[in-house]
A = this chain, B = another copy of it.
Amino acid sequence: MTEPLVATPRTTVRRRAERGSFDRELAHAILDEAYVAHLGFVVDSAPRVLPMTYGRIGDVLYLHGAVGNAMLRAADGADVCVTVTLLDGLVLARAAMHHSMNYRCVVLYGRAERVDGKREKRSAFDAVVEHARAGRSAEARPANASELRQTLVLRLPIAEGSVKVRAGGPVDDAEDLGLAVWAGVIPLALVPGEPVPGGLPSAGGA
């Protein structure tokens, strides 16, 4: 059995607490299904939120970007919050007030640490590629030493955090149930289209 995520005051879901959990397996499933994380960190007392790709190996989340990325460097060694959200549907209620969204969301807190060890860095690199497309890290030309040096990899333990999920139909007030307004859910899913082959020679990076 896997251990739950670590509960702290900031990971305790207070609003609609029944939607919150510390279910680690659910957290992993959400992280593995989504493609984009929103990385939050603080610069000069103000928040920054950047979209990032990532990979997961066991209980560790890896974020990576260019060494030249000043924003990513700012997150190195810093307290961060990483939020990953899957949008599952629009919830249309009879009352404007009860409109909502169905979603699955993981919020993680912790200190992002730079990965220096070559072996872990390469594994993290593979995990990020593998996360975009299973099997891809074995097909593509692996990163060479120079490319690894150009890459900044940050490690965040999947430890302090929580999961929040809303599912199901709208929840209207009893007195509104008779209104002649369509109510229900419009499911939403991120759907892959027809692959578009191609690709140009580089002028220096992805």
Which A positions have Cβ atoms within 8 angstroms of B?
A: 10, 14-16, 35-36, 38-43, 45-51, 53, 65-66, 68-71, 79-83, 85, 87, 89-101, 103, 105, 107, 109, 125-126, 128-129, 132-133, 136-137, 139-143, 147, 150-151, 168-174, 176-177, 179, 181-203, 205-206
Contacts and interface: CB of A to CB of B under 8 A. Distances in A.
Given A171-B199, A185-B198, A188-B190, 9 more contacts: A16-B205, A35-B87, A46-B79, A49-B81, A95-B147, A96-B137, A99-B129, A169-B199, A187-B192
A169 B89 CA distance: 29
A201 to B, nearest CB: 4
A188 B151 CA distance: 26
A94 B194 contact: no
A-B pairs with the 10 shortest C-beta distances?
A: A187-B193, A40-B47, A98-B206, A40-B49, A184-B197, A38-B38, A170-B199, A49-B83, A183-B199, A169-B198
